[in-house]
Amino acid sequence: MPKNSMKFLLHLIIFVLLTIITQIGGMIYLISILAIRKTTEKRGLKRFGIFVLLYLIATYLIVPNIAPIFGREKIKETESLKAHSIFYTLANRNYVRPELNKSIERISAEFSNRNNGIKMLYLDANFPFIDKFPLLPHLSHNDGKKIDIALIYETNGNLTNKKRSISGYGVFENPTQNEFDQTTVCKEKGFWQYDFPKYLTLGKINKDIEFSKRGTRELTNLILIQSEIGKIFIEPHLKTRLDLSNEKVRFHGCQAVRHDDHIHIQLK
C-alpha cells in the first residue's frame, strides 16, 4: 500500500475509534490534523498537543453548555453521586435528560443519608448529542434516558464504596446452585455475547469485598419508588435474591448482556 493511503487509513481508524468512544473526539482529531500544516516541524507532536488541549476544553467547558440545546445535561456530581471512573466523564459518557439528573441526585442523597455517606456510583450513561447515536457497547443508551449504576458491596458487614472491577463492569455476582441461571439458558440458545462484559473489567480489584444484598436492595428500592423511573434491568437471580417484586423490574432479554455486574435504570 502506498505511504499516503496507509496514513489516510490510520487517520480514519483513529477518527472512528475516537468517535465511538467519546462522540466528539473524532471531530476534534480532524480539526487537529487540519490545524497543523503538513510542512510543520515535529508535526505529530504538535497535532497531539493541539488535540489534547482542544479535547479537554471541549469536554469540560464547551460541551456541558451546548448539550442542554439537545435536551441533555452533564450529570451533576455531588458528595453522594460520582462516576466510578474518570473515564466516564473524560469520554463524555455522562449525559442524561434533566429529569434523570434530578432523579439520580435524589436517590443518591437519600441512600447516602441512610448509609453513613456511602455513594451511588454511576457507569455509562449517554453521550451529549443526537438521539439514536449509540453509546457502544450498550444497545439502548442513545436517548439520554438510560444510566448504569454499580452494585453495592460490603466488607465485614459494613457497606463500602469499593467495587470489584476497574471499569465497573464484568465482575459478575453469579447465581448460586439453587438460583435460576439465566446466563446458561441464554448461552445455550446461542446468544454468545450474553457474558461478553467479562472482557471489559480492565482488571479485577478489591477481592476482599463481597456483594451486599442489603445495600444493593436498599438502593434498588429507592430507585424503584421514583415515579419518573420506568424500568430497571437486573439479572433474574438477583431479582429473586433481593426480593424485588416491583413490576418496573424487567428482564432485558438474551440479546442484551447479563446484568449481575450492574443495574440499568431508565426513564419512562
Q: Applying CB under 5 A, which residues contact Zn ion?
A: 148, 264
Nearer to Zn ion, 72 or 264 (CB): 264
CB of 259 to Zn ion, least distance (A): 8
Residue type, position 43, single letter? R
Smallest distance from the beta carbon of 24 to Zn ion, in angstroms? Answer: 21
104 within 8 A of 122, measured Cβ to Cβ: yes
Minimum distance of Zn ion from residue 129's CB (angstroms):
19
Distance CA 32, CA 45 (A): 11
Question: Taking the complex as a whole, how short is the minimal distance between the CB of residue 97 and Zn ion, in angstroms?
Answer: 15
Residue at shortest CB range from Zn ion: 264
What is the arrangement of strands in the sheet containing 81-83, beginning at the earlier edge strand?
A: 81-83, 120-122, 146-150, 262-267, 229-233, 249-250
Comparing CB distances to Zn ion, the nearer of 55 and 87 is 87
Name residue, grid cell 508535526: 43
* Smaller CB separation from Zn ion, 155 or 255: 255
Strands of the chain, DSSP E: 73-74, 81-83, 95-96, 120-122, 146-150, 153-155, 158-160, 210-211, 229-233, 249-250, 262-267
* 8 A C-beta contact, residue 213 and residue 242: yes
Among candidate residues 216, 213, 223, the one with its CA nearest the CA of residue 176: 213
Query: Minimal distance in Å, beta carbon 264 to Zn ion?
Result: 3
Nearer to Zn ion, 124 or 154 (CB): 124
Nearest approach, Cβ of residue 35 and Zn ion (Å)? 36
Sign of CA dihedral 28, 30, 31, 36: positive
Residues in CB range of 15: below 8 A, 6 or more apart? 26, 29, 30
Closer to Zn ion at the Cβ: 148 or 261? 148
- What is the smallest separation between the CB atom of 208 and Zn ion, expressed in angstroms? 27
Specify the residue, 32 or 220, whose C-beta has the smaller distance to Zn ion. Answer: 220
The DSSP annotation for 17-45 comes to HHHHHHSSHHHHHHHHHHHS-TT-TTHHH
Q: Give the amino acid at 58.
A: A
Instruction: Tell me whether residue 148 or residue 260 sits nearer to Zn ion (CB atom).
Output: 148
